[in-house]
Amino acid sequence: MSRILTRGDLIADRYRVETFIGQGGMQEVYRAVDTSLGRHVALKVPKNDSGKKRFARSAAMSARVTHPNVAKTYDYVDDGQRQFLVEEFIDGHDLRHMLEEVFYCLDPHLAAHVLHHLAKGLEAVHREKVIHRDLKPSNIMLSGDEDLASLKITDFGIAKMAEAEIGEGVKSFQDETLASRTVVGAIPYMAPEVLSNRDDVSTSADVWSLGAIAFYLLTGEKPFGDGVQAVQKILARKPPDRPAMLAKVTSQFRQLVDELWDLMMQCLAADPNERPTASELVAKCNRLCYSRAPRVRGCVESYRPKKGKYGFITSDAHGDPTFFHADSFWGHTSPEPNQHVCFARFPGTPRARAHPVLLMRNAGTI
């Protein structure tokens, strides 16, 4: 497939292209070297004229925000033929990749961590009177570790000032040709007022998106389904039902799950005025009690479902197997031998104990 840039291209006599990273509906993304400062950067270039206007706006908006949970904007280049947005390079993957290729979903502790820090980033964005308007898993970058220690909101390609008009992207969500490329992936995270193309969209639309993302984190499912078919469900303004996997949780997770569910429902309120602000959401997340104990990967060595519902996990990080109970296991299935998991390990007698234990898709590297 033909790419806009090739390895070795030099942009603005400064940014040397190294490799193609990926693409969205309106842009291609490359890893490049800033030859002036000797650091890697993410170099983004629009695919078409529609993207060009958004790139200039993106640079102006995102450059105003400085926060550990928001990707930094370093530079904007217009050489007369193309526009380039130069951003902080994050060595990891986006949240969509993590949930489609690495995890099935996140356990309540890890989901609470992600939600908490996304709320902090969103608070910083809204403080600058910016509405992201395209908050979705593919616009959230995560560090490549089991702890998901670092996460950053990125891609302000259709971000707006609070006073600005709504972009033309949402207007054509019913155009299946266009939607298949640029809009369908964003629909599950679009607030009803955005889909209605109202002219009074506020920062609360981003909070709604955060609620939809939190639902996806915890369950591996979108609250209103996928693609264009989700539009009518969102516009109906009826809150999603509590999924079966969240209806019956063990005592190990119950309190945190209930608190996260309550936060999600507040964020997904049909009336924008009834949703918490990003600052209020940060305050609520501050009160959550979730573990940040370091995690390692392992494999379920054995499991006894009829004799105590316990088993053991082997890991290259530890010489002896780690004990776990089914009540500490989080996933769409019951524990089984040879499953790949990540877990936190605590001292115990006669064996160290794992909690939580999160089911993974495979043993590959993140």
H-run or E-run covering 104: none
Residue with tokens 């234990």: 357
Q: Phi/psi of residue 88, each to 5°? A: -55, 135
The two structure tokens encoding residue 138:
């593919």
Return d(Cα 332, Cα 365) in angstroms, integer: 21
Structure tokens at 83: 């526009």
Dihedral of alpha carbons 306, 307, 310, 314, sign: negative
**What is residue 366's three-state secondary structure?**
coil
The dihedrals phi and psi of 298, each to the nearest 5 degrees, come to -160, -175
* Contact between 193 and 186 (Cβ < 8 Å): no
CA distance 262 to 92: 30
Task: Indicate which residues carry an active-site annotation.
Answer: 134
- At 176, list the tokens: 């299946």
User: Buried b vs exposed e over 189-209: b needs ≥16 C-beta within 10 Å?
Assistant: bbbbbbbbeeeebbbbbbbbb
36, two tokens: 């002036």
Q: How far apart are CA 207 and CA 331, in angstroms?
A: 26
Helix H, strand E, coil C: the string for 283-328 is HHHHCCCCCCCCEEEEEEEEEECCCCCEEEEEECCEEEEEEEEHHH
H-helix or E-strand spanning residue 225: none
The residues near 231 (Cβ < 8 Å, ≥ 6 apart) are: 173, 174, 187, 195
